[in-house]
A and B are shown apart, each in its own frame.
Chain A
Amino acid sequence: MFLSDQEIISLFCERSENAITELNTSYGAYLKNIAFHILGKYSDIDEVLNDTYFAVWNRIPPEEPKVLRHYLSRITRNLAFKRLEYASAAKRSSEGIDSLDELADCVPDTRENVEGILEAREIGAAVNRWLGTLSEEKQAVFVLRYYYSFSLREIANRMGCSERRVKYLLSTMRGSLKEQLEREGFGE
């Protein structure tokens, strides 16, 4: 029996010890799947999951996520990405590293920003505006590759098309996103 998202959030607000157990019951497999796609390595997944639960415990309250599923996926994705830096140093291969490398095609100007690190939120908003101009199929392909780090084969299987088409779509989308970011001044 799964608790609803609101019931799980209430457990966190009450600081109940059952909160993490229920969270794991409802979302453990989903979050493991996300971490695995990014890391391509099973041994670190449990640590990423534990770090995710710890982060959620510290954030709720005061935060009250609108969609718990997406809220959790963002935390797990970020934590897995941090671990990926160690993995990259060890030259491990994973879909996370491959998709990260592909994103270099979208970067208008690779020089360091004079004001320091660009606000990820601002770039994210620009990406959302650009996504809004795409068809639902393209939106899904982009999100599956660069948010969930799915392989080309996995995306092709789910979209019902060939890997070649997925590769082509991603290539054209990266070019289009680069132009959008340049238009919005991120390359200056």
Chain B
Amino acid sequence: MKKEDLYHAMAYIDDKYLDKAEKYRNRSVFGFLHSQSRKIAAVLAVVLILAMGTGAYASGIFSPLNGDDFSLRSEYLGEGIVAVTIENRSEKDLHLQPKTKLMLFYANLEIPARGSVSFSETKIPAHEIRVIRIDLSEAYDIAMLEAPIEKDHYYLILTNNSFFFGHDWHCSVKFAPTDPK
């Protein structure tokens, strides 16, 4: 028997097992939240207690940045490096986390990262514009990204709080291959 025989045999996995897996397959963050509901309830209780104890400061601590106060545009520099220009029109500094997700828009797919991404800087002060260089070369197959795709496009998700809703910013990016000259 070869591993390929076993791989082909997987096509005969019974529908009932596919149905069971389907429940988990369609889960994303919300599925995770569901499965972790006890832990999350405990964390929320602690957060609530802390918030009540620091009522005067609560609005300052929890008020999110307004997405409309930021504009992002990207330029591909070649060799997996993307320059993202971020304009911060808000009253607050934006501190990005040095991580990103790369997505396909219409297919709604996250391209799996195989290594780390590096950022030239992560702070965008209030009322300032910064150009951040993001190096994706360690994390993705750049030849694959530079290959033309039809009826879809890539975009990056940047975040200042682990991609929680309201703490992420999307930016389209076109990976045009660079001229070897």
Residues of chain A touching chain B, judged by Cβ–Cβ distance below 8 Å, are 29, 32-33, 36, 40-43, 45-46, 66-67, 70, 73-74, 77-78, 81, 92-93, 95, 100-101, 103-104, 106-110, 112-113, 117-118, 120-121, 123-128, 131, 136, 139-140, 143-144, 146-148, 150-151, 153-154, 157-160, 181, 186-187
Residues of chain B touching chain A, judged by Cβ–Cβ distance below 8 Å, are 1-15, 17-21, 23-25, 27-29, 31-32, 34-36, 104, 107-109, 112, 114, 141, 144, 147-150, 152
C-alpha spacing A105/B112, complex, angstroms:
24
A107, A128, A181: which contacts B13 (Cβ < 8 A)? A128
B10, B32, B35, B141: which contacts A124 (Cβ < 8 A)? B10
Known A-B contacts A42-B147, A158-B32; the reply to A107 vs B3 at CB < 8 A is yes
Known A-B contacts A92-B141, A154-B112; the reply to A147 vs B1 at CB < 8 A is no
Known A-B contacts A41-B144, A124-B9; the reply to A101 vs B3 at CB < 8 A is yes
Q: Which residues of B contact A120 (CB under 8 A)?
A: 5, 8-9, 11-12
Q: Which residues of B contact A73 (CB under 8 A)?
A: 18
* 5 A-B pairs with C-beta separation under 8 A: A32-B109, A108-B1, A127-B6, A150-B25, A153-B112
**Are A70 and B15 interface neighbours, CB within 8 A?**
yes
B139 CB, nearest partner CB in chain A, Å: 12
Q: Which residues of B contact A127 (CB under 8 A)?
A: 6, 9-10, 12-13
Given contacts A73-B18, A160-B32, 13 further A-B contacts (CB under 8 A): A33-B109, A41-B141, A103-B7, A107-B1, A120-B5, A120-B9, A123-B6, A127-B10, A136-B20, A147-B21, A157-B27, A160-B36, A181-B1
In terms of DSSP, what is the predominant structure of the interface of chain A?
A: helix
Q: Which residues of B contact A66 (CB under 8 A)?
A: 15
Q: Which residues of B contact A92 (CB under 8 A)?
A: 141
Q: Which residues of A contact B28 (CB under 8 A)?
A: 157-158
Q: Which residues of B contact A109 (CB under 8 A)?
A: 1
